[in-house]
């Protein structure tokens, strides 16, 4: 009897530990929300979401509109996907379908190493390497712009897209491929018309996860996109994303001011955006696993 | 014939893509190593910055990153391991398990700057730890939790079922089985996986920006409530916030080299050990 109670208590202890994740997730949401409400109350949802002007320290008219920041974030995120999706999916297809096992064994850890490079280092290279290169190539005075940020974000989301797409592609049952090959299709036709379409939901989930990472990435875009808080007009515009705004300004504002709360409100928007992206990718992935 | 040509071109494109990814990594490492190596010396690693950080070394930043990572490890590794033990050994299929797994995946996707906001809101302000090693370490611990749980669980999964069944059949309780037959086998794997998470935490900047990292400190931190200098934050400052950015560029490269060397050595060691362990129990 005592032994049973002991066993139950131990199980409960481990359960409580695993519940911490849920508590943290709810805690994040709660802290963001409770610190955002004063901002929404004072600024108004309408101005906050539909104004493109953000002048929290202006003498004449203080404004808190985050539209330009949302547009900037989406712009470089989609820009990053234009580079990262073809490159990532093609690399994943190579790894799972063409590369011989030896090459794969070397390449997979190499891609993990790319994932391990801190974002501040990638941002640094955006300043010292990619920025000057972009400025020279396109004859600009300054290479810290949307294009720079998009390329760096593409590099940062590559490992996620590659490794998860590869999982999806190698999970396609061998019988599908064999059937296609037996019907006289070439290996290339099989890959493009059978294997990749069968793995599509997994690939899409991988892309969405990569996108989620790009939306939330802070240091690289903070360092490499020029920090100009205005509506971007082209890929050569300097801009300021939601993440960069928080990173730049939170250190300078006194706690419990409207400006402070407004930064938490940006955090809340960011949290909700990435949460939705991740949730959708999760749902896609799970539907796909159930079919298997 | 056309079919063959198409296949050749197609496969060539895929090969090229993989090569391009390799090339990107190569350029990153090459640039930092070649431009950073000349700054590295024993003095650079062991002394403090001097003259407004235009001379001297980066020791306080290395030391600060080390201290914060220890706090992170103390919280994140046990929490992750215990959580994983529940998920892999006890959890039954049901809504609670599904909810936990969903929370892990979603937590992994929360932007690092949002963890920074959370750390300010809860540790710095609400718990009143102030900007400190403790606040920053706890913030990073929560951020790495999804990694430590997932990798600990993966390690537990490699323990063959027969290890558990044998023990249970002999009349051992579940906990005795886990303690005596599962954990000893899984522990090395759990630790290496967790180290991967810690390496990531050590390289993070956004979560520590407002929870304790300092621009410059003339002394080393003396308690967990002190502020600290950190390698990634130091690099950020040297690259963007310093008043004469071009003068300190070599030092910035040196800092970047030290940072990626630390992170990559830990990463690589953990990956190699993990792959060894994976193969060990496959048979």
Q: How far apart are CA A200 and CA B57, in angstroms?
A: 50
Quote the CATH superfamily of domain A70-256+275-291: MetI-like (1.10.3720.10)
B253 falls within a domain: yes
Q: Is the pLDDT of residue B46 over 70?
A: yes
Q: Is the pLDDT of residue A226 over 90?
A: no
pLDDT given for residue B32 in this prediction: 94
pLDDT band, very low/low/confident/very high, at A184 (cuts 50, 70, 90): confident
Question: Which of B104, B114, B200 is closest, CB to CB, to A270?
Answer: B114
Mean pLDDT of B48-59: 77
* Cβ-based burial of B237 (10 A; exposed 0-12, middle 13-18, buried ≥19): buried
Radius of gyration of chain A (CA): 23
Residues 6+ away with beta carbon under 8 Å from B183: B85
Mean pLDDT of A173-192: 89
- If you count residue pairs, one on A and one on B, with CB atoms under 8 Å apart, how many are there? 263
- Contact of B48 with chain A, judged by CB distance below 8 Å, is answered with no
Q: The pTM is what?
A: 0.90
Strand spans (E) along chain A: 54-55, 63-64
Q: Strands A54-55 and A63-64: what pairing?
A: antiparallel
pLDDT band, very low/low/confident/very high, at B282 (cuts 50, 70, 90): low
Short-list A225, A244, A227, CA closest to A236? A225
Residues 6+ away with beta carbon under 8 Å from B253: A128, B32, B35, B36, B39
pLDDT given for residue B194 in this prediction: 87
Mean pLDDT of A216-225: 92
Question: Which of A107, A109, A155 is closest, CB to CB, to B18?
Answer: A107
Q: Is the pLDDT of residue A140 over 90?
A: no
Pair of tokens at residue B192: 């290496």
Helices A101-116, A146-170: axis angle to 10 degrees equals 140
Mean pLDDT of A160-175: 91
pLDDT given for residue B1 in this prediction: 58
B14 falls within a domain: no
CB A250 to CB B236 under 8 A? no
Instruction: Tell which A residues from 64 to 93 touch B, by Cβ distance under 8 Å.
Output: 86-87, 90-91, 93
Instruction: Tell which A residues from 182 to 201 touch B, by Cβ distance under 8 Å.
Output: 186-189, 191-192
Q: B120-127: long-range contacts (C-beta < 8 A, 24 or more apart)? A: B120/A250, B120/B210, B120/B211, B121/A31, B121/A32, B121/A35, B121/A264, B122/A27, B122/A31, B123/B211, B124/B210, B124/B211, B124/B212, B125/A255, B126/A31
Q: Can you give the CATH number for the domain in which B250 is found? A: 1.10.3720.10
- Contact of B165 with chain A, judged by CB distance below 8 Å, is answered with no
Pair of tokens at residue B104: 């892990």
A20-71 pLDDT, tens per residue?
999 999 999 999 999 999 989 888 888 888 887 888 877 777 888 889 999 9
Residues 6+ away with beta carbon under 8 Å from B177: B164, B167, B168
Pair of tokens at residue A139: 């004859």
Report how many domains make up chain B: 1
- DSSP classification of residue A255: T
CB A21 to CB B145 under 8 A? yes
CB A251 to CB B210 under 8 A? yes
Terminal-residue alpha carbon distance, chain B: 44
Mean pLDDT of A253-277: 92
B211-249 pLDDT, tens per residue?
988 888 777 888 888 888 999 999 999 998 877 777 888
pLDDT given for residue B280 in this prediction: 66
Instruction: Tell which A residues from 122 to 181 touch B, by Cβ distance under 8 Å.
Output: 122-125, 127-129, 155, 158, 162
* Least confident window among A74-78, A79-83, B272-276, B277-281: B277-281
Q: Is the pLDDT of residue B283 over 50?
A: no
pLDDT band, very low/low/confident/very high, at A289 (cuts 50, 70, 90): low
B254 and B36 Cβ atoms separated by less than 8 Å: yes
Q: Is the pLDDT of residue B43 over 60?
A: yes
Count the neighbouring beta carbons within 10 Å of the beta carbon of residue B259. 28
ipTM: 0.91
Short-list B240, B28, B253, B23, CA closest to A130? B28
Mean pLDDT of A139-157: 92
- Contact of A208 with chain B, judged by CB distance below 8 Å, is answered with no
Which residues constitute the domain of residue B123? Answer: 56-280
pLDDT given for residue A185 in this prediction: 87
Residues 6+ away with beta carbon under 8 Å from B204: A118, A119, B112, B140, B143, B232
pLDDT band, very low/low/confident/very high, at B174 (cuts 50, 70, 90): confident
Question: Per-residue DSSP letters for A171-231?
Answer: TS-HHHHHHHHHTT--HHHIIIIIIHHHTHHHHHHHHHHHHHHHHH--HHHHHHSB---S-
Phi, psi of B251 (to 5 degrees): -65, -35
Q: How far apart are CA A205 and CA A287, in angstroms?
A: 11
Q: Is the pLDDT of residue A292 over 50?
A: no
Q: How far apart are CA A163 and CA A153, in angstroms?
A: 16
Q: Is the pLDDT of residue B207 over 70?
A: yes
What percentage of chain A carries pLDDT values higher than 70?
98
Count the neighbouring beta carbons within 10 Å of the beta carbon of residue B191. 17
Question: Which of A113, A118, A251 is closest, CB to CB, to B25?
Answer: A113
Short-list A124, A274, A120, CA closest to B230? A120
Q: How far apart are CA A41 and CA A237, in angstroms?
A: 32
B83 and A17 Cβ atoms separated by less than 8 Å: yes
B6-30 pLDDT, tens per residue?
888 989 999 999 999 999 999 999 9
- Contact of B25 with chain A, judged by CB distance below 8 Å, is answered with yes
Q: Which residue did the predictor score with more confidence, A133 or B246? A: A133
Short-list B69, B75, B99, B76, CA closest to B87? B99
Q: How far apart are CA A154 and CA A132, in angstroms?
A: 18
Average pLDDT score over chain A: 89
B7 falls within a domain: no
């Amino acid at each position: 009897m005592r032994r049973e109670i002991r066993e139950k208590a131990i199980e409960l202890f481990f359960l409580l530990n695993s519940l911490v994740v849920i508590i943290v997730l709810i805690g994040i949401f709660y802290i963001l929300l409770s610190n955002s409400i004063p901002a929404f109350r004072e600024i108004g949802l309408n101005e906050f979401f539909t104004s493109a002007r953000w002048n929290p320290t202006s003498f004449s008219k203080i404004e808190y509109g985050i539209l330009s920041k949302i547009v900037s974030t989406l712009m470089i995120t989609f820009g990053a996907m234009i580079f990262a999706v073809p490159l990532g999916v093609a690399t994943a297809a190579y790894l799972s379908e063409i590369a011989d096992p030896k090459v794969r064994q070397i390449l997979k850890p190499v891609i993990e190493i790319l994932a391990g490079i801190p974002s501040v280092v990638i941002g640094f290279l955006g300043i010292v390497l990619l920025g000057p290169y972009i400025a020279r190539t396109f004859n600009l005075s300054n290479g810290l712009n949307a294009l720079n940020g998009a390329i760096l974000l593409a590099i940062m989301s590559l490992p996620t897209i590659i490794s998860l797409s590869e999982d999806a592609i190698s999970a396609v049952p061998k019988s599908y491929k064999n059937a296609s090959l037996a019907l006289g299709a070439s290996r290339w036709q099989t890959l493009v018309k059978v294997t990749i379409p069968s793995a599509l939901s997994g690939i899409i989930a991988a892309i969405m996860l990569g996108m989620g990472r790009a939306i939330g990435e802070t240091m690289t875009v903070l360092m490499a996109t020029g920090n100009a808080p205005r509506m971007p007009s082209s890929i050569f515009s300097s801009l300021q994303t939601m993440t960069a705004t928080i990173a730049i300004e939170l250190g300078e504002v006194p706690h419990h001011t409207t400006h402070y709360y407004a930064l938490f409100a940006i955090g809340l928007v960011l949290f909700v955006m990435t949460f939705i992206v991740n949730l959708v990718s999760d749902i896609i992935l799970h539907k796909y696993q159930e079919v298997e | 014939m056309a079919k063959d040509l198409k296949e050749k071109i197609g496969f060539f494109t895929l090969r090229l893509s993989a090569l391009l990814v390799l090339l990107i990594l190569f350029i990153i490492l090459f640039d930092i190593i070649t431009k950073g190596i000349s700054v590295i010396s024993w003095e650079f690693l062991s002394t403090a910055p001097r003259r407004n950080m235009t001379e001297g070394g980066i020791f306080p930043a290395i030391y600060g990153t080390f201290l914060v990572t220890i706090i992170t490890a103390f919280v994140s590794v046990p929490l992750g391991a215990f959580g994983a033990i529940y998920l892999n050994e006890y959890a039954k299929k049901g809504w609670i398990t599904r909810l936990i797994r969903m929370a892990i995946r979603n937590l992994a996707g929360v932007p690092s700057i949002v963890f920074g906001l959370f750390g300010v809101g809860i540790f710095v302000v609400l718990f009143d730890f102030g900007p400190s090693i403790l606040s920053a370490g706890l913030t990073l611990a929560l951020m790495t939790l999804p990694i430590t749980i997932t990798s600990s669980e993966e390690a537990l999964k490699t323990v063959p079922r027969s290890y558990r069944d044998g023990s249970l059949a002999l009349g051992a309780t579940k906990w005795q089985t886990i303690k005596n037959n599962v954990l000893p086998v899984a522990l090395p794997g759990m630790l290496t996986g967790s180290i991967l998470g810690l390496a990531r935490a050590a390289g993070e900047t956004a979560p520590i920006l407002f929870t304790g990292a300092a621009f410059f400190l003339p002394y080393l931190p003396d308690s967990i409530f002190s502020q600290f200098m950190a390698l990634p934050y130091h690099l950020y400052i040297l690259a963007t916030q310093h008043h004469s950015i071009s003068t300190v560029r070599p030092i910035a490269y040196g800092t970047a080299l030290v940072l990626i060397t630390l992170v990559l050595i830990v990463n690589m060691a953990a990956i190699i050990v993990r792959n060894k362990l994976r193969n060990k129990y496959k048979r």
